[in-house]
Structure 1
Amino acid sequence: MNSSKNTFFILLAFFSIYIIWGSTYLLNKIAVTELPPFMLAAMRFITAGVLIFIIAKLMGKPLAITKKQLINTAIAGFLFLTFGNGIVVWALKYVDSGFAALEISAQPLVVLILMRVFQGKKIQAMSVLGVILGIIGIYLLVSQNEVVSKEGSILGMIMIFVCMVSWATGSLFVGKADLPSNYFVNTGYQMIAGGIMLVILSIIFGESWSLPHVWSEKVQVSMVLLVVFGSIVAFTSFNFLLKRVSPEKVATSTYVNPIIALLLGWYFLNEVITTQSIVAAIVLLTGVYFINTKKKLVLFERFRNRI
């Protein structure tokens, strides 16, 4: 792949994870008001995985993978989809879609900390400032009376944070793991594996399953958009980027996702955007910027070198 073509696909992939994933919070929130969360996520990912395999075969792409690759795609599917996404969908029963997106915008902070713990990566001065701002932003976000007073909201917030850890772990794992070389096929196996594990979770929790023909029209439309764009297009783009750029850069989708989610939640679901949420968003996203910037904070570096 030549440099200009590679750059084009990287930009297109970033557009997908920035804009499309920002809208999935709204779509999941609409669907989970009628459907059990694990059933919803399972049907979404299994359907997407099957469609990906069909498209791959039509394109002449081989689906055969090694045993190691199968195990690795199952691990990635669990970290990203079964736990990382399935629990978020469950949490959306208790928190607003825009709020969930804002909390998840702290993901680069989690990625950075995990890279420090497991890979020994040095945290730069700007990133330290970013972590501090990120913690302040999260506190401002989750300490609002409008949020904590809702039934189940605290548990929902905690589970979303645990999902962030799972997703960040998956990002680091995929960056180093032996996976199918074709990003489309790789995505398909992760979707199927993650979906099957979500079916098991759904059965364990005793969820009642239903077929699409009994769903409301808005839920049917939401599911189609989640499968085609949220799963096939955006998740394939995500896997592509993890092999092309660093995990921190991929995590920058959290700059845009919460803004898209907040606006869509406000417009379509009448979700309230409080002044404190806006302040929290500014502080949190500024922290995310500092975590990802390559610039050095000279004064902070000098101060740190003296102590």
Structure 2
Amino acid sequence: MKPISSRVLIILAFIAIYIIWGSTYLMNKIAVTELPAFFLASFRFLCASVLLFGIAALSGKKLTITKRQLRNSIFVAFLFMVSGNGLFVWALKFLDSGFAALLASTQPLFVLLLMRLIDKKRMRQKSIIGIVFGIVGMYLLVSQRELVTDEDTLLGIFIIFSCVIGWSYASVFVSKADLPKNHLISTGYQMGIACCMLAIISLLIGEEWTSPLAWSTDVQWSMALLIIFGSLVAFTAFNYLLKQVSTEKVATASYVNPVVALFLGWWILDETLTTQSLIAAGILLIGVYFITSRKR
């Protein structure tokens, strides 16, 4: 069988982080209505890490890791999955899934700013134009009084912005960090480490752990989709892209995910979909075009 070209793999990986991750906001929102946030994330990453290591082992890959790679994996796991996922899912208790996803679309802005501060990397003209469109889109979102209603909403917004900054820094860090070369193994270690951290947090704050057999059918399906597609497929694709293309291009998933999440939340959960949100989504997609259209 002819091997898949790297160009095709990159396109498929972008489809995964754009579409699949966009749907995870909906699945997390469904699950967190019944399950505690940190228990939910811990269980998800436990199952995903076991499956990833199993696939890697069956493929004949060595599961060894160096001390430096382990340290880097712990750092990345905390920023990506404990903060970027566990805390983010907790914030969904206060916000609609589509609105939360649209707030997360600030990630490309933070990535470019961090690359400027850390790597002294000069911003290209198209990237700056893309950022401007992103800021305009974000202003249109958060200025809607019908969506930003009370102090809990403001708390959720603050938490999500904190998560996005951490995720952005981790994205810049991973592009240069010493991690296992095999993306299945690298992702498996990150998720296994995150599972342990999230479980400790869950126990410390007194979350109630329940058997999957006791969950509702909607939550069971949501968790299964989160594990298989949100974790195994999309996060592995994300780690692959960080080593293949520029970090700011990978970060554009945060512009596309919200558009997917917005429509799914409106369609399935009957969340608020305003004309202003639709205009903001269109402006954010224009920002994606300008950032992704520049040469590598």
TM range (shorter): over 0.9
| TM-score of the superposed pair, with normalisation by structure 2 | 0.94
1:79 and 2:79 correspond: yes
Distance in 2 (CA, whole Å) between partners of 1:124 and 1:7 is 23
1:120 match: secondary structure: coil
> In the aligned structure 1, how far is the partner of 2:10 from the partner of 2:260?
21
Partner residue, 2:130: 130
Deviation at 1:95, TM superposition (A): 0.7
Aligned-partner SS, 2:21: helix
Question: Percent identity of the aligned residues?
Answer: 56
Pairwise CA distance, 1:222: 0.4
| Higher alpha-carbon deviation: 224-233 or 127-136 | 127-136
Which residue does the alignment assign to 2:12? Answer: 12
CA contact (8 A) 1:106 1:288 kept: no
The superposition leaves residues 182-223 of structure 1 with CA deviations (integer Å, 9 ceiling, x where unpaired) of 110000000011111111221222211111111101000100
Give the match for residue 240 of structure 1.
Answer: 240
Task: Within 5 Å, give how 1:135-214 maps onto structure 2.
Answer: 135-150=135-150, 152-214=152-214
Instruction: Compute the displacement of 1:115 (Å).
Output: 0.5
1:94–1:151 CA contact under 8 A, matched in 2: no
1:157 Cα deviation (Å)? 0.9
- Write out aligned runs for 1:45-60 (5 A): 45-60=45-60
* Deviation for aligned residue 1:264: 0.9
Distance 1:294 1:11 in 2: 16
- Describe the superposition over 1:248-279 as per-residue Cα deviations: whole angstroms up to 9, x where unpaired: 11112234212211111111100111112122
- Whether the 8 Å contact between 1:105 and 1:285 is mirrored in structure 2 is no
Give 1:229's aligned residue: 229
Amino acid at match of 2:228: V
The separation in 2 between residues aligned to 1:260 and 1:175, in whole angstroms, is 26
SS of 2:181's partner is: coil
Which range moved further: 122-131 or 52-61? 122-131
Give CA-to-partner distance per residue, 1:266-299, whole Å, 9 cap, x none: 111001111121222223333343344428xxxx
Q: Find the aligned partners of 1:150 and 1:23 in 2 and give their Cα distance.
A: 26
SS in 1 for 2:221: helix
Distance 1:3 1:33 in 2: 43
- Aligned position for 1:102: 102
Is the Cα–Cα contact under 8 Å of residues 106 and 284 in structure 1 kept in the other structure? no
Cα RMSD of the aligned pairs, angstroms, is 1.7
What is the aligned partner in structure 1 of residue 92 from structure 2? 92
Aligned residues: 294
1:31-77 CA distances to partner (integer Å, 9 max, x unpaired)? 00000101101110111111111221122111011111111111111
Task: Report which of the two structures shows the higher radius of gyration computed on alpha carbons.
Answer: 1
Displacement of 1:3: 9.3
Larger displacement relative to structure 2 (180-189 or 246-255): 246-255
How high is the TM-score relative to the length of structure 1? 0.91
Tell me, in whole angstroms, the C-alpha distance in 1 between the residues paired with 2:60 and 2:251. Answer: 32
**Superposed displacement of residue 137, structure 1:** 1.9
Partner of 1:303: none
Structure-2 change in CA distance of 1:269 and 1:150 (3 Å): farther
Tell whether the 8 Å contact from 1:101 to 1:261 is kept in structure 2 after alignment. yes
List 4+ stretches of structure 1 deviating above 6 A.
none
SS of equivalent residue, structure 1 residue 146: coil
Counterpart AA for 1:180: P
Contact 2:108-2:252 within 8 A present in 1 as well = yes
Aligned positions of 1:241-280 closer than 5 A? 241-280=241-280
Question: Residues 108 and 32 from structure 1, CA distance in 2 versus in 1: closer, same or farther, beyond 3 angstroms?
Answer: same
Secondary structure, in 3 states, of the residue corresponding to 2:179? coil
